[in-house]
Amino acid sequence: MDVMEDQFVSRHSEMMEELDRIHRENEKIMKKVKEIPDQFLCPITQEPMSNPVMASDGHFYEKAAIEEWFGRRKRTSPMTGAELPNLTLTLSHTMKSLIQEFINKL
């Protein structure tokens, strides 16, 4: 092999090792994400909530997700499909703290 081929093979090997490392790290992260309780996940996005609000159906949602839901002229509960009595959203500092505390322990 000439010098360029050697460099290519060497760089390719380094990149494959880095991809393996990233893959292992990603598996660890995904395992931790699966440990997050369902009540900390937005029912619309299925992602951990960072700004949880309670809608008039009594369920918690990520604020941006439920606002987008309402923005599409939907007036029903994403959880039950029942018509909502109002579109009031109440910030939940307690839920936000619980989620942040749980995630920080991961």
Q: Mind listing the pLDDT tens digit for each residue in 36-89?
A: 999 999 999 999 999 999 999 999 999 999 999 999 999 999 999 999 999 999
pLDDT on residue 24: 85
Sheet holding 90-91, edge to edge: 60-62, 52-54, 90-91
Residue showing tokens 């494959």: 16
pLDDT band at 3 (very low <50, low <70, confident <90, very high): confident
Characterize the bridge pairing of strands 52-54 and 90-91.
antiparallel
Is 4's pLDDT higher than 90? no
102 in Cβ contact with 37 (< 8 Å): yes
d(CA 92, CA 69): 19
pLDDT on residue 33: 67
pLDDT on residue 101: 93
pLDDT digits (tens, 9 = 90+) for 9-43: 888 888 889 888 888 887 877 776 678 999 999 99
